[in-house]
Amino acid sequence: MTKHHLLLLGVFLISSSCKTVTEHLSPDPEEVFPDSTGKFLQADKDSTPQTERIEGDWWKIFKDPQLDQLINRLNTYNPDAKAALARYEQSLAVLGITRSKILPTIRGNGSIKTRQDSVNSLLFPISSPNYDQYSIGLNATWEIDLWGRVQASSKNDRFLAESEEANYDALLLSLQATLAQQYFAHHANHSQQTLLQQSRNLASENLQLHQARLDIGEGRQSDVSKALQELQETEAALELAKRNTGKLHHSMAVLLGQLPSNFSPPKDISPTLPQVPTGLPSELLARRPDLLSAEQQLRSAAIRVGLTKVEFLPKFTLVGNAGYGSLTEDNLLKRASELYDYGPQLDLPIFSYRLRQSVLRQAKARYRESTAKYQSTFLNAVREVDDSLLDLKSHTRELKLQLQTLESTTLSAQAAKDRYNTGLTDYFDYIIAEQIRLQTAARKATLTAEQLSASVRLIQALGGSFQAPEGT
């Protein structure tokens, strides 16, 4: 065995035993993960974690086939989701490029050259300064991963790819949640339009009756003015509901990757209010895609510190060339035309110490930034869950009270109608009672949509994956 072979073998053995040096020089992200023990502040005190999880198609918990169709279309056609998926695919391509550097790079080459040398520059005379050169061969380079730099670079790009994947999941979850909330709000606004149209008809009738009484000298101008004001307010509310419904229509269409003119939102919906248990804050670490993204960004920043540190160390590369070279085409592939060279190549940074120190300080600062961002993301995630729980509880209680109010106003309106039909009261009393009922029904539609939207926000805050209640 030659000295060159012994040298190459020694370098290989050293690289095999020291390939994790970079990771040893990197900080440990596990040390900065926040404490996540305990329960959410707004969670029920007697709530206990369940074993079954709902993963993936979280919207199916509402048991609304039309909502299922809309979100399935969003998943396929939303342009923002497509762009996020493309970014993830780009990160996978970068990872593939980095992983390829672990193996030797081999390239083929060939050339045919016509050359003229300067006769005055030659040490020995030749028959002619004009001649052809033929060559064909292979060249190979292989960086010996002496400090684990190449391996760590691959791991860093894997962290970044996983971060992009989580970013895609987070964006898709956000788009899905937005569409679901707009779906419920659109239905509420459409219901309000129907109720407000009925209320407008009553207000118009009320104005006509008061004007008729005034015309025959039995009414008052103040009653007419009040009736006119009520009609105008109802018409304004109706116009606002129409405008809001139209904007929701436009927004839903864009989310689905459609022109508003080509989209017809469903009007009759039948969602079921789900029960969404919250579990423990620590479970957010495995649920929320934004936390997963922040975690992988933190791990990437940590390993970048190690990568920057090993830039102070020498870099070893094995270089080799083999092929054929000849001055004539006929002799190119003959044994006498063989040529080769191989050996190690050393790259030692000597005069770039200050530059590398600055790069290292930058890497350390980015790691501290990633640490703070991760902690902030986690704390905000917990806040969002507690906020969503608070909203859901509040909307549920308010809706319960509103349902009781609607029941009372419905009974009152029916009683007023019965009294009018029996001649015990005038028509104005019935109009007032019916308008109150319609206003209560409109408020109930709004609260129902808000309650459903609060459930969506809670599911989103939990990362679109949550423990299912027992018995579901």
Mean pLDDT check: name the lowest of 212-221, 231-240, 268-277: 268-277
Q: Return the pLDDT at 246.
A: 92
pLDDT surpassing 90 at residue 163: yes
Provide the pLDDT for residue 215. Answer: 82
Whether residue 44 is predicted with pLDDT greater than 70 in this model: the reply is no
Q: List the structure tokens of 382.
A: 């917990």
What pLDDT, on the 0 to 100 scale, is given for residue 120?
A: 67
Average pLDDT, integer, range 242-257? 94
Higher pLDDT: 297 or 136? It is: 297
**pLDDT tens-digit series, residues 96-120:** 988 888 877 888 887 788 777 666 6
Mean pLDDT of 355-359: 88
Instruction: Give the mean pLDDT of 423-428.
Output: 80
CA dihedral 199, 200, 202, 204 (to 10 degrees): 160
pLDDT for the residue 373: 94
Token readout for 67 is: 């909502």
Query: Could you give the C-alpha distances from 26 to 86, 146, 348, in angstroms and in order?
Result: 30, 16, 21
This prediction has a pTM of 0.82
What are the distances in angstroms from CA 137 to CA 108, 201, 358? 6, 91, 42
Domains and CATH numbers, the chain: 27-105+149-314+358-467 (1.20.1600.10)
Q: Tens of pLDDT along 2-40?
A: 544 444 444 444 444 444 678 878 888 887 777 666 666
pLDDT given for residue 89 in this prediction:
94
DSSP string, 62-89: G--HHHHHHHHHHHHH-HHHHHHHHHHH
Q: With contact defined as beta carbons under 8 Å apart, do 234 and 453 qualify?
A: no
**Percent of the chain clearing pLDDT 70 (strictly above):** 84
Tell whether the model's pLDDT for residue 175 goes beyond 70: yes
